Structure formats: structure tokens, C-alpha cells
Amino acid sequence: MNLLPCTIYLSFAGAVLALVAGMKSSAAARAVALLTAVSSWGIALYAAFGFTPSSEFLTLVNVPWIPQFGINYHLASDGISLTLLVLTGLAATCGVLFSWNIEERTGEFFAFYLALIGGVYGVFLSADAFVFFVFYEIAIVPKYFLIANWGSTNRQYGAMKLALYSFAGSALVLAGLLWIYSTGYASSFGLDQLAQGAATLSQGAQITVFALLFTGFAVLAGMFPFHTWAPTGHVAAPTGASMLLAGVVMKLGAYGCLRVAMPLLPAGLDFWQPVIAGLAITGILYAGLVALVQDDFKFVIGYSSVSHMGFVLLGLAAANPSAVAGAVLQMFSHGVIAGLLFAVVGRMVYERTHTRQLDELKKLPLHRLLPFAAVVFVIAGLASMGMPGFSGFPAELTILIGVWNYSAILGVLAALGVFIAAAFTLRVIQVSFFGQSGSRAVAQSSDAAHNHPLPPITWPEKTGAFLLLAATLLIGLKPDLLLDWIVPSLQSPLMKVIFHGGAR
């Protein structure tokens, strides 16, 4: 547990090392990146094995940083952050594996990549709002360069859009935090002191500040109607970066809502609850329907991410223990599954066929040409639809139960969202991999394929895919592993105020 802060330092040190190693050779930079990602994941896993679930927000480091403004370098961890730390380690490791083929400016790529990871670890470990914000902003800058430098389709537009949305969101967050600190006369930026300061604000001020903070964070979580950066950004990003974006960066936003906005201002949550729930459900349905009609393979996955993050926001909005625990589980589950889907689309398929247009993919018998990719995608698709046995199922089920208790209509609409997810997932599986499944058509095109065989799937891709598949299966079969961490953490003094009736 006490080693957890090393994940941050290790990642930043790895970023510098990868930059240096990249000047010598690409292989060295890759090795450094993989070693860094695996060892910080190892630290997270080691902490997880020694973790005894409790409601305590366990302080790891707490030293004065800028005493003049009451800012402490305070890192802490509980079951929720541990869940996300393990996810970050997994996503980072697999992201490196799926970026194995980056040849151009490899050192710089992994430097930005690991700097992003370091910021993400930092956010998940922060217990001081200032520290949280610093890491949150650190995580934004590398995203821009990862996409603009190594991305594909329309990358500069996608990168700029994503960066500006993120910065606009963090400006809202900054305004909200400063508002609480200054007018609430909080003595420090510690989350507990800020909560006390927030309680002294007037009702109207609490509602406004909550709107600032929650909207600011929810932009990054892809909340409708601020989600439009997500599909373009994900599509433009290189595979490793889109795995991280969908896998962990969107979770930063949701985590910010859960850790900062909601506990600090329960009165604001009370007021805005119906609005957030409405936007979340709109996001689920709208993004699902949009995903149904996309022509670009990666856009389908991009919109499916928005739809699935809608479930997270819906779970948070319902604000009862079951729904919120489900939301955290869904963060983990979506992180794994979205990573897998982006890996198949971006790395396994696009970089071999050089097209993501579904009508062109339809002409290729991809299930023959890339059987491994087809199998992985079918399994990932099933997981994404919420089939029992995969992590999506317990997560969405817990959310649905919680939401049902909050409002039956929303529960029904959310269930409809699950059906839409099944529809667009099945459609894309069918069209992309099994577009040519009649025996004659297959024979014809496999002749053509023999003339231009696609490069085989490499070992890093297989390893990454197996890791992610194993994670989604493990949590699908034994969700209690994570729920046992998450549920007690929601009973901590800081967190339990978010539940209905717990308002101070």
C-alpha cells in the first residue's frame, strides 16, 4: 500500500528514460516503456493483494507543499482508487504492447505516453484538491501530442478539439474549487476541509458550484452534450492512446465527479440529480443510436464508449450504494473492454487492411484472414453487450438495480440502452468480420487474399489481448473481487454523504 505513490514517480521517471533511450534505438524505448508500465502495474497489484477492505481513506503521503496557501502533498487510497489503479496498470501495459509497432519518434511517443500514465496515477491517488487538479492537468497535455503526432484520420482537428474540451472542463473545475476555497474560507485544499468550507456556502452557491465542478469533470467523462470530443479524439488517436483515452482518461472525469464534486456538495447533487440522470440516459440512447449508423469501424467503438460511460454517469446520478458501486465497477469493466475493442480495430485490423470503412471491410473475409482478431472481437463484443460471464454484466446489472430503485422509468430506459448496445455491437461484428461468409464469396476472396496475405498477428498483440480478455472474464465470473473493495469505501465519512438522505 505504501508503495503506491511510486507508481506516479516511476511513470514520470520512465517517461524521461524512454525519451533518452529513444535517442539510441526504438527497441530500447519500447523496453523501457514496457518495463515501466509492468512494474507500476505490479506495484498496484501488490498493494491490491495486501489490501484489507475498509471504509478508511488510507493516507499514503501527507507533507506540506505550499504552506502559504494551505496546500499539502496528500496522497491517499481506498478501494475505489485501488480498483482504478489496477485498471490503469493493466491498460498502460496493454497499451504499450499494442504500440509495439510505433517506429517514428518512438522515444517521444512513449515519453508522452508514460507522462500521461503518471498523471492518471496521480489523480487516482490524490486526497488534496490542488494535487488532484495538478495531476489532472498534467494528464491533458500529452494527449494532444500523442494524437497530433502519431494519430490517423483528421488527427490535428481531433487532437485540438480534445485538448480544448479538456481545458475548458478543467477551467470550470478550477473555478469551482477556488470558489469553495475562497468564499468558504477553507483552511486548506484537503478534500475534508473543502467539504467543511462548502457547507458554509449558501444553498444557491452550493448548487452553482456543483454545476461547475460536475460539468467540468463530466466533460472528460463524455457526458452528453459535451461528448463530441470523444469519438473524434478516439478515432484520430493512435491505438495505444485511444486505449488509454477510453480506458482510463474518461475515468478521470467520472472519478472527479465521484471523489470531488459529489462529496463536497451533496446539496448540489440533490438539486441536479434529475438533470444529470436525464443527460446520462440521453447519452446512453443517443450515442447508441449514432453508433448504429456509423460507416467507420472506429467511430462505432468511439460512440459505444460514450454510451457505456453514460451508464457510469447514470449510476453516479442515482446516488444509492448499489448504483454507485456499479458505476465504479463499470469504470473498470469499460476500461478493459473498450481497450480491447480499440486494440482490435486500431491495431489488428486497420494497420493491416488500411481501411476502417465498414463497406470496404465487408468485402474482405476478415474472419478467415485474421481469425485471431475475429475471435477476440467477438468475445469483446459479447462482453461489451453485457453478456453474463463478462465484466460488463455484473457492472450494468448493479447499476440497473440501483437505478431501478431511484426511478423505474430510468431503469427501463437504461435497459433499452443495453439492447441498443447489443444491436450496434452485433451489426459491427457481422459487417466487419463476417461480411463475406457465403462459401463461394469466401473462396473467391481468399484467393485474392493469398496473393496479398495480411501480416500475421504478432506476440505483443496476442499477449495484450489475452491480458485484457482474462481481466474481463475474471471480473465477470467473480465481480465480488472488486465489489468487496468498492462497497466499504463508499461508507467512508467523506463518501457516504452522497447517498440520499445522508445530506449534512
103 touches another protein by CB under 8 A: no
Whichever of 120 and 490 has its CB closer to another protein, that residue is 120
d(Cα 107, Cα 169) in Å, to the nearest integer?
30
Q: Which amino acid is at 86?
A: V
Stretch near another protein under the rule CB under 8 A, chosen from 51-59, 62-70, 84-92, 396-404: 62-70
| Phi and psi torsions of 154, nearest 5° | 55, 40
261 touches another protein by CB under 8 A: no
Q: Closest distance between another protein and the C-beta of residue 66, in Å?
A: 5
Stretch near another protein under the rule CB under 8 A, chosen from 145-153, 238-246, 273-281, 376-384: 145-153
Whichever of 175 and 443 has its CB closer to another protein, that residue is 175
160 touches another protein by CB under 8 A: yes
- CA-wise closest residue to 274 among 334, 340, 236, 319: 319
Q: Closest distance between another protein and the C-beta of residue 77, in Å?
A: 21
Taking every pair of C-alpha atoms in the chain, what is the biggest distance, in angstroms? 76
109 touches another protein by CB under 8 A: no
d(Cα 471, Cα 492) in Å, to the nearest integer?
27
451 touches another protein by CB under 8 A: no
434 touches another protein by CB under 8 A: no
The answer to whether 2 and 51 have CB atoms below 8 angstroms apart is: no
444 touches another protein by CB under 8 A: no
499 touches another protein by CB under 8 A: no
- Residue 315: Cβ-neighbour burial (10 angstroms; 0-12, 13-18, 19+): buried
Options 20, 27, 66, 481; binder of another protein; rule CB under 8 A: 66
Task: Give the side-chain half-sphere CA count within 13 A for 106.
Answer: 21
Options 67, 225, 455, 501; binder of another protein; rule CB under 8 A: 67
164 touches another protein by CB under 8 A: yes
Stretch near another protein under the rule CB under 8 A, chosen from 65-73, 95-103, 379-387, 420-428: 65-73
Whichever of 157 and 434 has its CB closer to another protein, that residue is 157
Whichever of 185 and 466 has its CB closer to another protein, that residue is 185
Q: Which residues contact 41 (CB under 8 A, 6 or more apart)?
A: 86, 88, 89, 90, 92, 93
409 touches another protein by CB under 8 A: no
- Residue 55: Cβ-neighbour burial (10 angstroms; 0-12, 13-18, 19+): middle
The answer to whether 110 and 267 have CB atoms below 8 angstroms apart is: no
213 touches another protein by CB under 8 A: no
- CA-wise closest residue to 457 among 355, 366, 349: 349
Options 121, 133, 229, 299; binder of another protein; rule CB under 8 A: 133
Whichever of 185 and 419 has its CB closer to another protein, that residue is 185
Options 63, 68, 440, 501; binder of another protein; rule CB under 8 A: 68
Q: Is the peptide bond before 266 cis (omega within 30 degrees of 0)?
A: no
Neighbours of 275 (CB within 10 A): 12
Stretch near another protein under the rule CB under 8 A, chosen from 136-144, 347-355, 378-386, 408-416: 136-144
Q: Closest distance between another protein and the C-beta of residue 308, in Å?
A: 27
d(Cα 83, Cα 327) in Å, to the nearest integer?
12
Local structure of 425: helix, strand or coil: helix
Options 39, 62, 149, 407; binder of another protein; rule CB under 8 A: 149
484 touches another protein by CB under 8 A: no
d(Cα 146, Cα 497) in Å, to the nearest integer?
39
Options 16, 20, 27, 171; binder of another protein; rule CB under 8 A: 171
d(Cα 209, Cα 216) in Å, to the nearest integer?
10
- CA-wise closest residue to 160 among 236, 214, 251: 236
Stretch near another protein under the rule CB under 8 A, chosen from 175-183, 280-288, 308-316, 403-411: 175-183
61 touches another protein by CB under 8 A: no
Options 39, 101, 183, 458; binder of another protein; rule CB under 8 A: 183
- CA-wise closest residue to 386 among 304, 320, 318: 304
- With the C-alpha atoms ordered 215, 217, 223, 228, is the resulting torsion angle positive or negative? positive
1 touches another protein by CB under 8 A: no
Q: Closest distance between another protein and the C-beta of residue 384, in Å?
A: 33
| Total residues binding another protein (CB under 8 A) | 33
Whichever of 137 and 360 has its CB closer to another protein, that residue is 137
Displacement of CA 102 from its chain's centroid (Å): 23
Q: Closest distance between another protein and the C-beta of residue 437, in Å?
A: 42
Whichever of 136 and 342 has its CB closer to another protein, that residue is 136
- Residue 451: Cβ-neighbour burial (10 angstroms; 0-12, 13-18, 19+): exposed
Cα dihedral value 387, 80, 312, 245, nearest 10: -90
Provide the grid cell at 425.
Answer: 455491437
Neighbours of 225 (CB within 10 A): 9
299 touches another protein by CB under 8 A: no
Can you give the binding site for another protein, defined by CB under 8 A? 65-69, 108, 133-134, 137-138, 140-141, 144-145, 148-149, 156, 160, 163-164, 167-168, 170-171, 174-175, 178-179, 181-183, 185, 205
